[in-house]
Amino acid sequence: MNRSRKAVFLVILLALMLTACPKASVVRQAAVASQSASIAVQAFQQAEIQSFESGVVSVDDHATIQGLLAQVGQVGKTLDSALRSANDNQSALADVNTAVAAIDSLNQQGLLHIKNKDIQAKWTIAMAGAKAALNSIAAMLQ
Amino acid sequence: MNEQEAVALANLLSILIPMGVKTYSQIQSAYSDKVKPLGDILSEADTNWQSVIDTAKAELSKLK
């Protein structure tokens, strides 16, 4: 085997080693995304409570938003639980996609039921932030 | 080094340099894995999500 063939062989071997076991890092990235999303949602929740207490948000909108946030929190917990048992990238991807679809659906419900336009826009931004964190993982896994 | 060898070397480097960058990022990622275990990250995320749920329930109960 001449020198350049040895080099090509080593490169191929290195590539195989690098792609063989990416699971831990990918699931970890998904966990970090869940954590980032939870921080974004928490920040929105606190801001919304302050707006409600200062009279900017109506009782109806406050009740709608907090009801939806409880469901978003449940989606996050379900994702974390699924990631704990994810065996490979594909199952982690399916878990992330399920969470993204659920957040999408809750975002739509918010747009339908929140009447205050300002808080509706903030709701969409918060949900888009949570989705963006999770979508970055989905893009990496595909 | 003749022209043919220079082209072969350039081709080889074009493969090795991106691989080196990828290796570096994977080593860095593996190092981070050791700094904060996956379970800890998921526990922190879980705590945050649970806080969102508990706060939402508390707010809703105030309205009743």
Residue A17 in domain: no
Residue A37 in domain: yes
DSSP three-state, residue A16: helix
Residue A72 in domain: yes
**Residues of chain B found within 8 Å of residue A23, distances taken between Cβ atoms:** none
Q: Which residues are CB-contacts of A135 (< 8 A; sequence separation ≥ 6)? A: A100
User: In CATH, what number is assigned to the domain containing residue A126?
Assistant: 1.20.140
| Strand stretches in A1-142, DSSP E | none
pLDDT digits (tens, 9 = 90+) for A35-94: 888 998 999 999 999 999 999 999 999 999 999 999 999 999 999 998 888 877 788 788
**Residues of chain B found within 8 Å of residue A83, distances taken between Cβ atoms:** 42
Distance CA A79, CA B27 (A): 27
A 67-126 residues with CB < 8 A to B: 67, 69-70, 72-74, 76-77, 80, 83-84
Distance CA A110, CA A124 (A): 8
**pLDDT confidence band for A19 (50 / 70 / 90):** very low
**pLDDT confidence band for A133 (50 / 70 / 90):** confident
Q: How many domains does chain A have?
A: 1
Residue A40 in domain: yes
Note whether A11 contacts B19, CB cutoff 8 Å: yes
Give A87 to chain B, closest Cα distance, Å: 14
Residue A90 in domain: yes
Q: pLDDT exceeding 90 applies to what percent of chain B?
A: 38
Domain boundaries, position A61: 23-141
**Residues of chain A found within 8 Å of residue B32, distances taken between Cβ atoms:** 28
Tokens linked to A35 = 């954590």
Residues A62, A70: contact at Cβ < 8 Å? no
**pLDDT confidence band for A28 (50 / 70 / 90):** confident
